[in-house]
Copies of this chain bind each other. A is one copy, B any other.
Amino acid sequence: MNSFQPIPNVVDHGDFLRDVIEILFSNVVFAGHSNKVVLWKQPESLKDLFDFSLDQIGVTQEKLLVLIKNTIKFSVKTGHPYFINQLFSGLDPYGLAGQWLTDALNASVYTYEVAPVFTLMETKVIQEMCKMIGPEWGDGMFCPGGSFGNGTAINLARFNLFPDIKLNGLTNLPKLVLFASEECHYSIHKFASFLGIGENNVLSVNTDDVGQMDVSDLEQKILEQLGLGNMPYLVVATLGTTVRGAFDPLNDIADVCKSYKLWLHVDAAWGGGLIFSQKYRSKLNGIERAQSVVINPHKLLAVPQQCSLLFVKDKDILHRCHSKGAEYLFQKDKYYDSTYDHGDKYLQCGRKCDVFKFWLMWKAKGSMGFARHVEALMEVAEYFETQIEKRPDFCLVSKRQYMNVCFWYLPRYLQGKRNILNNTSQLQKVAPQIKAVMVKHGSVMLGYQPLKNLPNFFRFVSQNSALTKEDVDFILDHIADIGRAVFP
């Protein structure tokens, strides 16, 4: 037995990997504007067009390269400037380089021993961002998405109140209730359910006509819950709501939290990127008064998927709440100072390295580069809003608070009408029909949704620095062209 296995090693695959890189460069990374955002196929049709099958025997490298090309062909080009469908987009060259390096090193970040550079890099990024949030901020952790970060905060807050939960659970505790605006992200409900609190114990606080939390309603609901004998313990404020980009009035909410001794968690997954901009930093005022904050650099800052952070003021709470001290991983008799092993403050064990791409972008652009990115995007949003206001065939849903511009396209018969909301059932159908045409063309991907009593409207959001004024004009003209054709 000379060797255990006849399986070819990575070193025999140089030509294949070079071919893949060339395909990625020409078909994705440098494919440019002129391509479609998506070559749309209905699910049943895509099943026929793409060979998803998995068999006993592998296929040739030639066949694999064809499959790789087809994967690209039928995938959405989220880096295309006309992909404005979600709260992420763009393709940053430093972010991509960072991901590619991370993948090649295939690191898992739990001990210093296994990930020395990335461990210290995580600490550095967390420290720098804590400083930006406020002088007392102590620690943070990378999360697999903002939902998980919000969920972690929901648990930290109750652990802070009842540390015994860690060992003995919720049994015999009073009913814990938390508060979030009716426009908060749905992860609050999903994780309240997951954590044994229950969706119904997330009390929805009213929002005003631009989407901000109504603080007097918050206080009234807290009092109601106290009256019922339940235990309010947490308020989740949102900086940058998903649909309208609203910023809850943080200082007022913090005052209420202080009066009633409630933990304040800030979901700034979408809005938090503003922290890099001197010009817009004040939109986050009051964030320093919270006990925990979620910020997703993979949203506004266009760091590749995923890069999400939860920050906490109390510098030891992550360890106190999450640690278990598994001896096979966190030995105390190591050949280095094992306080550098951060894994035990996490709920995850193996964890993909999400820091390097972010750090590399930061290093490449500097904080000022992120600021310019954010400020340029805000100009785009301003310009977009102005154009909507100028045109009789479009109508703002509510005043823009941030990057989100929410608007209706108005068919001819609704243009100039005083109260278009008298036509809710008709408006409800407009955005979906226009979107269907756009996607079938592959020209633009733009999200829409209803909200409260408002029928379906489009939401423009951009995180892509490549978007220009001409692009905005094109998008609006394109919607109007389709609108006139569909609703003559």
Contacts and interface: CB of A to CB of B under 8 A. Distances in A.
Contacts of A57: 366, 368
A191 B151 CA distance: 12
Given A21-B100, A144-B348, A196-B170, A9 B85 contact: no
B469 A101 contact: no
Interface string A369-388: 10011001101100100000
How often does this chain occur in the complex, in copies? 2
Contact of A56 (B6, B360, B368): B368
Contacts of A107: 75-76, 78, 305
A474 interface: no
B469 A2 contact: yes
Interface in A328-386: 328-329, 331, 333-337, 340, 347-353, 356, 359-360, 362-369, 372-373, 376-377, 379-380, 383
Contacts of A4: 376-377, 379-380, 383, 465, 467-469
B24 A10 contact: no
A228 interface: no
A349 B187 contact: yes
* A interface bracket (residues with beta carbon within 8 Å of B): 35 or more
Q: Which one of A92, A106, A191, A353 has the highest number of Cβ atoms from chain B below 10 Å of its Cβ?
A: A106
Interface in A410-437: 428-429, 432, 435-436
Contact of A356 (B2, B24, B71): B71
Contacts of A158: 196
A32 interface: yes
A101 B72 contact: yes
A125 interface: yes
A482 interface: no
Given A7-B373, A199-B166, A85 B114 contact: yes
Contacts of A17: 25, 29, 93, 96-97
A28 B186 CA distance: 41
